[in-house]
């Protein structure tokens, strides 16, 4: 017992270094956690700078669909020119084997180069940052991942695809990439993982979508999409092919004011009235010819054809058709739209509150040039058999002109 005080003193002395080490370890651990927190906070600010820079480069937007623009009044429909007495759809087969004469559209569209809603990008980046923090601190939340698209808007250019995409993005169960990936027509050699990486992150039950209007008229795309997934749902926005061609020309002329006149580009021979079907602005509107290729790979039930005209006059009605086609709840309806008489197309608005409606870019709703009524009539005559067959193939009359 006489050694007890000495033993106790020795015990206290020996335990002090342990306590000191434990104290130092706690301080180091706290500093380590604080440094990680600071790094995460710093990194989260970087995308905002990148987005701001990109936004300044892509502040312009594409022209919107404007089928209500006044076109020259047509008195009656004529017959096809003597050169086309045989079935014009069959006689044009060789034309589709060669590349089209793309006088006006050799530059990339703004949509293709990233004409997306930058607020959407910032939102996606914030979601990504939150996921990083959640993973570091083990905070539970919805699991998000990038998936290949289950639905694609495949066409057509100047038909109303940008408007439809923006309308769809209002739906909480749809996540869509804003910029056109052009994977199946221009970037296919980069592989599916590159394509998947372009897609936004989605949660379970959400649908991933993209739009690239040139898919509809590109020869190899149907087979490539079918290889990716034969169950992919396809949406095509179509518009009166004559109005669409003029809109196509109008967009390009706004960038290249010195291009030839619409009339000179539309005809091989103005005197005989022979239409130049190698010009892409004309060729895109031959909807039936392109649809034949898609139906070789996909059943008609997997394609939905949206009227570009009705997307303007009755956006809620067309959105109901799209939501039903995709198996979604009918969320987007009349309360989401406000018609802008100045631009001639509907704008999106929040159902709650009095916030200002969101319209598409300033370049939307360009005024079409005045085209010679005789030229317009000849184009309508040319498209007549293509339209008739397209109505038969889709089971839907879009009402582009009348004939006996």
379 vs 241: CA distance, rounded Å: 9
Phi first, then psi: what are they for 176, rounded to 5°? -130, 140
Q: Which segments within 259-342 are labelled E, that is strand? A: 267-269, 274-275, 303-307, 337-340
Token digits for 269? Answer: 């021979």
78 vs 36: CA distance, rounded Å: 74
Q: How far is CA 354 from CA 281, 336, 358, 359, in A?
A: 41, 12, 12, 15
As a dihedral over the C-alpha atoms of residue 221, residue 222, residue 224, residue 227, rounded to 10 degrees, the angle is: 170
Phi first, then psi: what are they for 34, rounded to 5°? -65, -40
Is 365 marked as binding a ligand? yes
Contact present, 312 and 68 (Cβ < 8 Å): yes
Strand partners, 145: 202
Q: Is 146 among the catalytic positions?
A: no
Is 78 marked as binding a ligand? no
Whether cis (ω within 30° of 0) applies to the bond prior to 207 is no
Catalytic residue among 19, 21, 157, 158: 158
Is 378 marked as binding a ligand? no
Is 202 marked as binding a ligand? no
Is 247 marked as binding a ligand? yes
Closest CA to 61 of 214, 208, 154, 165: 165
Is 366 marked as binding a ligand? yes
Residue with tokens 């008739």: 388
Token digits for 271? Answer: 């005197």
Strand partners, 275: 267
Contact present, 381 and 80 (Cβ < 8 Å): yes
Is 158 marked as binding a ligand? yes
- The DSSP H or E segment spanning 153 is strand 151-155
Is 134 marked as binding a ligand? no
C-alpha triplet 360, 56, 54: angle, nearest 5°: 100
Q: What is the DSSP letter of 338?
A: E
C-alpha triplet 375, 377, 381: angle, nearest 5°: 115
Rg (CA), the chain: 29
Is 246 marked as binding a ligand? no
Is 162 marked as binding a ligand? yes
Binding-site residue numbers are 158-162, 239, 247, 364-368
Give the residue numbers marked as catalytic: 158
**What residues are designated binding site for 3'-phosphoadenylyl sulfate?**
158-162, 239, 247, 364-368
């Amino acid at each position: 017992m006489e050694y007890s005080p000495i033993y106790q003193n020795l015990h206290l002395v020996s335990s002090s270094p342990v306590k000191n080490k434990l104290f130092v370890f706690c301080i180091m651990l706290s500093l380590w956690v604080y440094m990680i927190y600071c790094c995460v906070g710093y990194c989260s600010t970087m995308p905002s700078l990148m987005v701001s820079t990109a936004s300044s480069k892509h502040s312009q937007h594409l022209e919107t669909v404007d089928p209500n623009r006044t076109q020259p009044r047509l008195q009656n429909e004529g017959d096809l020119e003597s050169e086309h007495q045989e079935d014009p759809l069959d006689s044009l087969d060789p034309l589709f084997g060669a590349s089209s004469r793309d006088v006006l559209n050799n530059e990339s569209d703004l949509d293709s180069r990233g004409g997306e809603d930058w607020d959407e990008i910032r939102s996606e980046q914030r979601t990504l940052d939150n996921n990083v923090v959640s993973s570091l601190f083990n905070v539970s939340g919805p699991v998000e991942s990038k998936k290949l698209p289950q639905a694609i808007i495949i066409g057509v250019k100047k038909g109303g695809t940008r408007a439809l995409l923006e309308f769809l993005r209002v739906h909480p169960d749809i996540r869509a990439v804003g910029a056109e990936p052009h994977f199946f027509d221009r970037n296919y050699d980069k592989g599916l993982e590159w394509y998947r990486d372009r897609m936004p992150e989605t949660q379970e039950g959400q649908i991933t979508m993209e739009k690239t209007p040139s898919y509809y008229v590109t020869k190899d795309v149907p087979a490539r999409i079918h290889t990716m997934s034969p169950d992919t749902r396809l949406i095509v926005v179509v518009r009166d092919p004559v109005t669409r061609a003029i809109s196509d020309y109008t967009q390009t002329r706004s960038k290249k004011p010195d291009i030839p006149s619409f009339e000179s580009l539309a005809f091989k021979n103005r005197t005989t009235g022979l239409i130049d079907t190698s010009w892409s602005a004309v060729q895109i509107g031959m909807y039936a010819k392109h649809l034949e290729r898609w139906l070789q790979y996909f059943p008609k039930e997997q394609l939905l054809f949206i009227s570009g005209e009705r997307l303007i006059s009755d956006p809620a009605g067309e959105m109901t058709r799209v939501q039903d086609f995709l198996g979604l709840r009918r969320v987007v309806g009349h309360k989401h739209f406000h018609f802008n008489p100045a631009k001639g197309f509907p704008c999106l608005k929040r159902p709650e509150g009095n916030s200002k409606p969101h319209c598409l870019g300033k370049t939307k709703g360009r005024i079409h040039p005045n085209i010679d009524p005789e030229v317009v009539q000849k184009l309508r005559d040319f498209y007549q058999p293509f339209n008739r067959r397209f109505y038969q193939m889709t089971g839907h009359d879009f009402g582009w002109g009348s004939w006996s």
